[in-house]
């Protein structure tokens, strides 16, 4: 079954009202890589499938992108205020996942490293995990490893099918010291695609998305890399929705001048 990324458009600063109050320079509009005719043709092909893929209409990815962008902007502002020696780009993937999880908790219930629901019954060491799982405020995720509900559990728990499952990946153009990262391209092409396939193949995950945090030196390079990444998704037959991008200027310490978060809703098979 041939699939492609639906990249006919990306959101702009006017896509939704930003309660996070992001400045205009952090709302980035990127060019499309699939014509409107191409998108129409792709949806025509999808309508002929016996089981049409599902893309989340329950979760507002524009607002999610606002919250993610604001989280990174606030963290960068704090580092500048304290005149920190090391910036956001000195943190590894797990540290950035923790940062985003902590700050997203103001708007959502957030669970980290959650086992995919369809792997229930397997040994814990054999179960694949998702980086972040969001659920509505006041409705924490029901974890299948937590046992039966207890007296002090919240009265309302979110089922896996109602949560938003997010894989969070990070790509760095430069290493510490300003040396170019030899694996920069591979960070986009391999691990990210495998995580997307892992999510879209789970029948108990109904709403999911990819969050990609990118550190690089300039807007033109970012634009080119996002387009190339979406081309990789198309060639790998991974189906994703329109991207939402927020970019935060950061203090240059080792070659990076931009920290960007790009969010794609996945289309579940």
pLDDT tens track for 177-187 = 788 887 787 77
Q: Residue 259 pLDDT more than 70?
A: yes
Helix, strand, coil percentages in the chain from 3-state DSSP, rounded to 5: 35, 20, 45
> What is the mean pLDDT of the segment spanning 119-140?
81
243, 231 contact by CB (below 8 A): no
128, 114 contact by CB (below 8 A): no
Annotated domain spans of the chain: 24-268
**Residue 79 has what pLDDT?**
97
Q: Residue 24 pLDDT more than 60?
A: no
**Residue 23 has what pLDDT?**
41
Q: Residue 73 pLDDT more than 90?
A: yes
Backbone conformation region of residue 48, classed left if phi is above 0, alpha if psi is from -120 to 50, else beta: alpha
Question: Where is average pLDDT lowest: 17-26, 133-142, 194-203?
Answer: 17-26
Q: How many CB atoms lie within 10 A of CB 27?
A: 20
110, 132 contact by CB (below 8 A): yes
Chain-wide mean pLDDT for the chain?
78
Q: Which residues contact 136 (CB under 8 A, 6 or more apart)?
A: 108, 109, 158
Residue range 133-154, pLDDT digits in tens: 999 999 998 876 555 666 666 6
- The C-alpha atoms of residue 26 and residue 260 are separated, in whole angstroms, by 9
* Top mean-pLDDT range of 6-20, 21-35, 151-165: 151-165
Question: Where is average pLDDT lowest: 147-161, 214-228, 230-244?
Answer: 147-161
- The C-alpha atoms of residue 58 and residue 210 are separated, in whole angstroms, by 16
Q: Residue 131 pLDDT more than 90?
A: yes
- The C-alpha atoms of residue 229 and residue 6 are separated, in whole angstroms, by 12
- The C-alpha atoms of residue 152 and residue 130 are separated, in whole angstroms, by 26
């Amino acid at each position: 079954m041939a699939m492609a990324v639906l990249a006919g458009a990306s959101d702009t600063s006017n896509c939704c009202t930003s309660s996070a109050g992001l400045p205009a320079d952090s709302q980035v509009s990127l060019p499309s890589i699939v014509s409107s005719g191409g998108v129409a043709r792709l949806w025509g092909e999808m309508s002929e499938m016996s089981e049409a893929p599902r893309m989340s209409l329950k979760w507002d990815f524009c607002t999610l992108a606002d919250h993610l962008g604001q989280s990174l902007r606030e963290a960068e502002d704090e580092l500048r205020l304290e005149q920190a020696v090391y910036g956001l780009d000195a943190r590894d993937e797990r540290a950035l996942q923790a940062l985003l999880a902590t700050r997203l908790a103001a708007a959502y219930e957030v669970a980290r490293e959650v086992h995919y629901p369809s792997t229930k019954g397997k040994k814990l060491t054999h179960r694949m995990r998702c980086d972040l799982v969001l659920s509505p405020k006041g409705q924490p995720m029901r974890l299948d490893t937590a046992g039966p509900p207890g007296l002090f559990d919240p009265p309302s728990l979110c089922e896996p099918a109602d949560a938003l499952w997010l894989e969070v990946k990070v790509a760095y153009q430069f290493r510490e010291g300003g040396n170019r990262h030899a694996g920069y391209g591979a960070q986009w092409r391999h691990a990210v695609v495998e995580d997307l396939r892992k999510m879209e193949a789970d029948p108990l995950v109904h709403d999911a998305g990819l969050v990609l945090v990118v550190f690089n030196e300039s807007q033109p390079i970012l634009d080119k890399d996002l387009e190339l990444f979406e081309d990789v998704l198309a060639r790998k037959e991974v189906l994703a929705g329109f991207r939402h991008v927020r970019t935060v200027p950061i203090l240059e310490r080792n070659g990076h001048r931009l920290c960007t978060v790009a969010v794609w809703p996945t289309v579940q098979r």
